[in-house]
Amino acid sequence: MILSCKNKAIVFLLCATSFLKIVSAQTVETDSLPSINNTRLIISSATIATGYTTAIILLDQAWYKNYPRSSFHFHNDNADWLQIDKMGHSISSYYLSILSYKTFSWAGLDNKSATLWGSLSGWAFISVIEVLDGFSAEWGASTGDIVANTFGTALFTTQQLTWEEQRIKLRYSYHKSGLEVYRPDLLGTNLAENMLKDYNGITSWLSFNINSFAGENSIIPPWLNIAVGYGASGMLGSISNPSEHNGQPLPYYKRTRHFYLSPDVDFGKIKTNSTFLKSVFSLFDFLKMPAPAIEYSKEYGLQFHLVFF
């Protein structure tokens, strides 16, 4: 089955991550590496190059080979899905940059070098989609996607060069929207597909570590974050909602933007000597933890959720 174009960024992230994890899972404290380890640098570079090449081949075979080619062109999809898909691009480029950074740090590069090379690699990983799209008659490169990719990478780069840590993290959460039953072809037929395809249930977050900004003498727990989220609802189509699907009438839903404020947990700030826990915390670092939330939308005003996913 060929997945829809709007999910390529997330699936591409998962594909690329599987390669980068080979090396980044072995990352050690860079302080213990007094100089560049040439063997590790070769392994790191080869791993990233292999992952990059393999991902391009897989993408080309999975999505593009059955569609006619064209000269390079752009397609304006900035109005699609109330920009929820663009946030997915930002999250993808952000974490790909982090994984690439860890890979180069493992090889012994200093913070600045690892950050710059990691950022370039992460941005290139996700942005190759736009090159392939640009040469496909079915789609076209998206300036909005490129901007979103750049924002995610820039968020990582700026913080790593300024603070040598990530005080503000992009994160993802999902809840069942209930709309997938009307358009399973578009929004997914099972939970795994819904989490990728149903933008009505996806919320993107900027999670701020309070203690990092409050100072060393702050009584605020170092693991406590405050997160600002953005989501949308009522979408049965990318730009507008159809009135029927396969001859069946569809209910009316107003396409609505939602904004959230919620506490969060930065597991990377929880001290533990367990290698297993460190790996688990790192693996799920992109997820926003379920927590109470205040929601605002123009349609429904202020609402409170005891637990929001």
Residue 19 confidence (pLDDT) above 80: no
Confidence of residue 13 (pLDDT cuts 50, 70, 90): low
Q: What is the pLDDT of residue 26?
A: 47
107 and 207 together in one domain: no
Q: What is the pLDDT of residue 30?
A: 44
Determine contact, residues 26/101, Cβ cutoff 8 Å.
no
Confidence of residue 31 (pLDDT cuts 50, 70, 90): very low
Determine contact, residues 224/263, Cβ cutoff 8 Å.
yes
208 and 157 together in one domain: no
Buried b (16+ CB within 10 A) or exposed e, 178-195: ebbebbeebbbeeeeebb
pLDDT in tens, 122-159: 999 888 888 888 998 888 999 999 999 999 999 999 99
Q: What is the pLDDT of residue 9?
A: 52
Determine contact, residues 122/170, Cβ cutoff 8 Å.
no
Determine contact, residues 29/100, Cβ cutoff 8 Å.
no
Q: What angle do CA 81, 84, 90 make, to 5 degrees?
A: 140
Report d(CA 88, CA 202) in Å as an integer. Answer: 9
Which comes out higher in pLDDT, residue 11 or 223? Answer: 223
Choose one of 140, 164, 188: the last residue of a domain: 164
Contacts of 287 (CB under 8 A, 6+ apart): 171, 172, 173
Residue 62 confidence (pLDDT) above 70: no
15 and 142 together in one domain: yes
Please compute the mean of the pLDDT values over residues 217-225 and round it to a whole number.
Answer: 93
pLDDT in tens, 85-101: 999 999 999 999 999 99
Residue 123 sits in which domain range? Answer: 1-164
Choose one of 141, 164, 187: the last residue of a domain: 164
17 and 158 together in one domain: yes
Query: Domain tally for the chain?
Result: 2
Alpha carbon 281 to its chain centroid, in Å, reads: 16
Residue 16 confidence (pLDDT) above 70: no
Q: What is the pLDDT of residue 38?
A: 80
Which residues partner with 233 through β-bridges?
Answer: 256
Note the pTM of the prediction, 2 decimals. 0.87
SS3 content of the chain, % helix, strand, coil (to 5): 50, 20, 30
7 and 144 together in one domain: yes
30 and 81 together in one domain: yes
Which comes out higher in pLDDT, residue 12 or 262? Answer: 262
140 and 53 together in one domain: yes
